[in-house]
Structure 1
């Protein structure tokens, strides 16, 4: 059984048994951003070469454009790298942020449905997005992109949510859509 030490709300370090997942999303989720950045860099370079044949163009113009493209790529990389997800037998906790941090938690007994999505370009890398639908009115939908073994994680989340509801004696009542 996995164990993970983490800071509790009150400050002391607690050991949580039964960690289902702990880690960051795969950087593969940034592949579309990287491809767009590469295509943009090629377009900037081609436009600069074409413009040189027609007009005098300062060398700084394409450099600024290429720097903007690079900043976008690095930003996506850092956003993914500074996202941490911990799923234990009681809750899902997500920590996000580069300069400022945002921490969100979802109690597993609030989970209504879990879906795993596997876009064609992520399937060769064995990653996917886990979509969690909840009864939480503030956060009715949680997206966990770039999860390795998303299908297995989906099943484990479903089983853990059902087990927690049974252990707490919580029953779900659907009132219909408004």
Structure 2
């Protein structure tokens, strides 16, 4: 029979409980971090939302700081939030123009015009997420034909057979 002054944990031996005996650690630990699980989840979600808001703000700035200009002689693209970059393609260098409309742009009435040229620095250019992209593509194509006729330029494709 056990002595009422003895204490046992998980059947792991007994330690006498009297004032003359040496103190023995029976168990030591700390709470699980999961005790704050809902708070951690809320904090993580808050951080993600804050980062997400800043990221969306940055993407908005990138879009607002990009300007496409189609003139009767060239296409000019100016872009950059902090640093500015200006690129241009002469219309007579354009070989082909095509339209692309992603599934998520369709309900918004947006699309992209892809331009393929013989320009060395910009052989391919995308006018992304513009309204009436088909009409813009047609204007570019008509302007290319007009400038080629004005300058007497003919497009010749050399392809290997």
- Structure 1 and Structure 2 fold alike (TM over 0.5): yes
Match of 1:95 among 78, 81, 85: 78
| Structure 2 unaligned regions, length at least 5 | 1-32
**Bigger radius of gyration:** 2
- Output the aligned Cα RMSD: 2.1
Counterparts in 2 of 1:177 and 1:111: CA distance versus 1, 3 Å: farther
1:91 and 1:78 map into 2 onto residues whose CA distance is 25
After superposition, residues 1-40 of structure 1 pair within 5 angstroms as none
User: What residue number does 1:55 align with?
Assistant: 35
Q: Are positions 1:72 and 2:52 aligned together?
A: no
- Normalised by the length of structure 1, the TM-score is 0.65
1:102 and 1:55 map into 2 onto residues whose CA distance is 52
2:108 and 2:57 map into 1 onto residues whose CA distance is 21
2:160 and 2:85 map into 1 onto residues whose CA distance is 31
Match of 2:130 among 138, 143, 147: 147
User: What residue number does 1:131 align with?
Assistant: 114
How far the C-alpha of 1:62 sits from its partner, in A, is 3.7
How far the C-alpha of 1:137 sits from its partner, in A, is 2.3
1:177 and 1:92 map into 2 onto residues whose CA distance is 30
- Normalised by the length of structure 2, the TM-score is 0.71
What is the number of residues matched between the two proteins?
126
| Structure 1 unaligned regions, length at least 5 | 1-52
How far the C-alpha of 1:60 sits from its partner, in A, is 4.7
1:177 and 1:110 map into 2 onto residues whose CA distance is 21
Q: Which secondary structure state, in structure 2, belongs to the residue aligned with residue 131 of structure 1?
A: strand
How far the C-alpha of 1:55 sits from its partner, in A, is 3.0
| Larger relative contact order (CA 8 Å, sep ≥ 6) | 1
How far the C-alpha of 1:117 sits from its partner, in A, is 1.0
How far the C-alpha of 1:69 sits from its partner, in A, is 1.5
**Larger proportion of helix:** 1
Q: Which secondary structure state, in structure 2, belongs to the residue aligned with residue 137 of structure 1?
A: coil
Counterparts in 2 of 1:87 and 1:177: CA distance versus 1, 3 Å: farther
